[in-house]
Chains A and B, each alone.
Chain A
Amino acid sequence: KAGVTQTPRYLIKTRGQQVTLSCSPISGHRSVSWYQQTPGQGLQFLFEYFSETQRNKGNFPGRFSGRQFSNSRSEMNVSTLELGDSALYLCASRLTSGSTDTQYFGPGTRLTVL
């Protein structure tokens, strides 16, 4: 079974631009979460999508948005980029069944904002 894939792997943008990141979860997983990881703050939860609906949201400004398609693929968009948005953006694919819960991460997209 293929793992979680994310594209692109690396991205360089300038302040004020916008960016769209893509994530394809493991086949059969309907939940996709997005995280931002920086050296100072660790892994910060952005949002989670389940069956095309945003199920949970973290404490990020409205410049960060996402969506999920009917095939469970998800995209994350960041508008009006700021220098502080430079980070590793990780997508995670989650499957919950009874008392079992597993969440696997993709390789991440490293975003640099200049």
Chain B
Amino acid sequence: GQNIDQPTEMTATEGAIVQINCTYQTSGFNGLFWYQQHAGEAPTFLSYNVLDGLEEKGRFSSFLSRSKGYSYLLLKELQMKDSASYLCAVSRDDKIIFGKGTRLHILP
């Protein structure tokens, strides 16, 4: 996905915290999206970051460093329903390009 890199799979325990990283090429960068996608369903919008820093939305937070080409999605107080794929997507020159996603497994 045009050099958008995120881990393929991660495993975490219910109630814990997990951080999903995403790195990308900075040329033409406008902003960064995070989506959640459950198996067999369409992606659901989680966040959009355009400025450096951390944005919190309930149990989910997203961080962006524009100069480093780096973002992460932080999920707190993990629940079984958080088992899903998490997609990092970059808005670049008006296109939105997706990484291949991180499949998150939650263990009880």
Contact = CB atoms under 8 A, between A and B. Distances in A.
A14 interface: no
A107 B42 contact: yes
Chain A: interface residue count, which band?
Answer: 20 to 34
Interface stretch (B10-18, B62-70, B76-84, B91-99): B91-99
Given A99-B51, A103-B33, A45 B42 contact: no
Interface in A1-53: 33, 35, 41-45, 48
Given A48-B94, A48-B95, A99-B50, A105 B44 contact: yes
Interface string A92-114: 10100001111111111000000
A62 to B, nearest CB: 19
Interface string A74-93: 00000000000000001010
A71 interface: no
A92 B96 CA distance: 10
Contact of A90 (B31, B42, B93): B42
A106 B50 contact: no
Interface of B: 1, 30-31, 33, 35, 41-45, 48, 50-51, 87, 89, 91, 93-101
